[in-house]
Amino acid sequence: MEDKIKVIISGGGTGGHIFPAISIANAIKQLFPQAEILFVGAEGRMEMQRVPEAGYEIIGLPVAGFDRKRIWKNVGVLLKLLKSQRKARQIIKDFKPDVAIGVGGYASGPTLRMAAKMGIPTLIQEQNSYAGVTNKLLAKKALKICTAYEGMDKFFPGNKLILTGNPVRQDLLTYHLPKEEAVKQFGLNPEKKTVLILGGSLGARTINQCIMENLETIKSSDVQFIWQTGKIYIDQAKEAVKKAGDILNLHTTDFIKDMAGAYTAADLVISRAGAGSISEFCLLHKPVILIPSPNVAEDHQTKNAMALVNKKAAIYIKDTEAKEKLIPLILQTIHNEATLQELSKNIALLALPDSANIIAREVYNLIK
């Protein structure tokens, strides 16, 4: 009986929402192999590709995010929201889930709202240290709220909270290739220090521009770089690299499929401060320089970053200062073994392992 549970998982938009969602799905399948899992995402967003690649069915809603700067554009957004709620209702009616999980992102709002309205138990997973508007609204009807940070009772009812951490991709924790081999996979030299530059799954303008403007410095340095540009910036990045001539110490790609290998190869990581990424750095004990995105609701990435910086577990640079400071800081930090070790030791203390399994068990408790 319990193996035949039906679960809807809704949300997406960025890798920070999608990869934890897939990890939760995998953990549920591990506990209950006969479980049926249906994802509900937003049409045209990256979950529509990544979820089927992970082996799960997904249905898209025509939902879009609110335009906070051009309010007049939100008439169309409201119409899409109404259509999405109607479609979500029909999906729930057809699939008949035992529980609905929201992981954040455009689609989670209409899906979880309709699920709660139709009497389906709901669980939300808040990944950030500062709760988003959608999750704060959904929390009123949710039975459980899984968080990655302490002190979230300032946003949510304390009796619903459970500290789980953010689920990460399982392959990150089971990767066994030695560091030398991981470095070679990227066509780089195992004898040199390696910096991994991540702009998120879609890309980060400031980080990418900073690298493009400093290719000569990178080329002449004794450090090597794995640079994930994101799909939006890959053509621009390749053109800049082509103009700079052969840069043997730089591997450029739009998307890294083998993130476990990239992390293993890296002595230092440069990244935005998305909650999912931070959870991965904590679990893998990676020294990191964080450049929070200024283009997120409630500036929650800065709050995520400061939760680490205040415990001497990361280095922080403002987005507006990155072009001037990032490359010198990378070259200074990568050669300071004491700093790398301190960052690694402190970030390891913040790790919350086994998050996906804890959430999967909470899902089962809700159904039971």
Can you give the pLDDT at residue 145? Answer: 96
- Which range, 119-123, 152-156, 363-367, has the best average confidence (pLDDT)? 119-123
- Do the Cβ atoms of 108 and 85 come closer than 8 Å? no
Q: Which helix (H) or strand (E) holds 112?
A: helix 108-117
Average pLDDT over residues 3-17: 86
- Which distant-in-sequence residues (6+ apart) come within 8 Å of 245 by Cβ? 219
Average pLDDT over residues 74-102: 92
Lowest average pLDDT, out of 101-105, 106-110, 168-172, 190-194, goes to 168-172
Average pLDDT over residues 198-202: 71
- 365 pLDDT above the threshold of 80: yes
Can you give the pLDDT at residue 286? Answer: 97
Please tell me the distance from the alpha carbon of residue 44 to that of residue 191, in angstroms, as a whole number.
42
Can you give the pLDDT at residue 15? Answer: 72
- Which distant-in-sequence residues (6+ apart) come within 8 Å of 16 by Cβ? 127, 200, 201, 274, 275, 276, 277
- Which distant-in-sequence residues (6+ apart) come within 8 Å of 9 by Cβ? 21, 24, 25, 37, 38, 39, 40, 100, 101, 103
Strand, helix or coil at 215?
A: helix
* Per-residue pLDDT reduced to its tens digit, 89-141: 999 999 999 999 999 888 999 999 999 999 999 999 998 888 878 888 999 99
User: What angle do the packed helices 74-95 and 108-117 form, to 10 degrees?
Assistant: 50
Verdict on whether the full-model pTM lies above 0.75: yes
* Per-residue pLDDT reduced to its tens digit, 30-54: 999 999 999 999 998 889 999 999 9
User: What angle do the packed helices 355-367 and 15-31 form, to 10 degrees?
Assistant: 60
Can you give the pLDDT at residue 1? Answer: 44
Please tell me the distance from the alpha carbon of residue 157 to that of residue 152, in angstroms, as a whole number.
9
